[in-house]
Amino acid sequence: MNYTELIATLSQKLQLPKTEVSQRVEDTVTVITSELLKNNAVSFGNLGTMEIKKRNERISVNPVSGKRMLIPPKLIVGFKVSSSLKDQLKEMKI
């Protein structure tokens, strides 16, 4: 599902205009982003938790040239799936 499909689905489900739903989604993303930038975890009930994690520096090897490079540390957004969603996924048939 992409952004446009999400807006269309929410608009239909909530019976609101797409412009209003789009604005609410944008506001939600803004709040989540600002909380993550403050280094606060954001929890989504039965979905999971987003938080900022530090990835340590590491050495990488270019497979073509064999040259080793040092990749500096960086911050990433991590997502930990909730146990209830994990359980639901286990029950799904492939």
pLDDT at 40: 95
List the chain domain ranges.
1-40, 42-94
Distance CA 33, CA 40 (A): 10
pLDDT in tens, 40-93: 999 998 899 999 999 999 999 999 999 999 999 999 999 999 999 999 999 887
Residue partners of 42: CB distance under 8 A and separation at least 6: 32, 35, 36, 49, 50, 51
Domain 42-94 part of CATH 4.10.520.10: yes
